[in-house]
Amino acid sequence: MTRISVRSVAVVSATAVTAVGAVVGAAAGSEGKGAVQTVDVASATLLADAPTGAQAQNVSDGIVRQADAQQVSADTAARKAAEEAARQKAAADAQAKADADKATKAAEDKAAADKAAADKAAETKAAKQQANQAAAQSPLAAVPSGSVQEIARQIIGDDAQFQCFSQIVTRESGWNYTATNASSGAYGLVQALPGSKMATAGADWRTNPATQIKWGLNYMNSRYGSPCGAWSFWQSHHWY
């Protein structure tokens, strides 16, 4: 019920009560003329209890105030409901955006990792192809391993150190100076990783066993003190 309808009911009610009071007053006034009126006691009691005049207006005003209070309460409840709905929607939107951002970041990270892995694989493949090509074009490809060992013996000088050096090279490459590790790409007699490290001993590191031997001997001396020190480490770890 709207405020207008409630006010109308209140006014009509007050008017009706006032009219009833007038009827009762007319009936009472007729007694002075000697007319006999039949009065319903129960109805008279109800009419006596009914508000009239200022009282009826007070009742009407009370009904209006009550309706106003109810309307204010309803408006307040509706506003709070709308605010709560808006809050929940904002929270849901924020969560959806966070989830979408997280999914996007995960996809970007995976794509970057996949690209890095692909680039690494391509780089390794290219290095292997380059090493294989260099080995195939090497003018010393037919040099027997015995000759390579003699070169190493002459470069190292000390027989005991040569034996330790030989133990490592035999296990690393089998005295094949073009040997390439299919997994890591390590290259040459001493399996330098990457093989390009041996360029510090000579630009011909891919094809010259003497250059590889010099680099390997220097590596063992600087890292383990001697070829025998390197061999001792190799026996414990199977790498050096």
Please check whether residue 211 lies inside any domain of the structure. yes
Closest listed residue to residue 212, CA positions, set 161, 156, 158: 156
Give residue 30's pLDDT.
Answer: 44
Give residue 58's pLDDT.
Answer: 83
Q: What is the pLDDT of residues 134-179, one digit of tens each?
A: 544 444 444 555 689 999 999 999 999 999 999 999 999 999 999 9
Query: Is residue 235 scored above 90 in pLDDT?
Result: yes
The total of structural domains in the chain comes to 1
Question: How far is 65 from 73, CA to CA, in rounded Å?
Answer: 12
Please check whether residue 154 lies inside any domain of the structure. yes
Domain span holding position 223: 102-240
Residue 212 CB neighbour total at 10 angstroms: 30
Q: Which residues does residue 180 pair with via DSSP β-bridges, in sequence order?
A: 187
Once rounded to an integer, what is the mean pLDDT over residues 46-54?
A: 63
Please check whether residue 95 lies inside any domain of the structure. no
Burial letters for 7-30: b for 16+ Cβ neighbours within 10 Å, e otherwise? beebeebbeebbeebeebeeeeee
Please check whether residue 33 lies inside any domain of the structure. no
Query: Is residue 37 scored above 80 in pLDDT?
Result: no
Please check whether residue 9 lies inside any domain of the structure. no
Question: How far is 166 from 151, CA to CA, in rounded Å?
Answer: 12
Please check whether residue 30 lies inside any domain of the structure. no
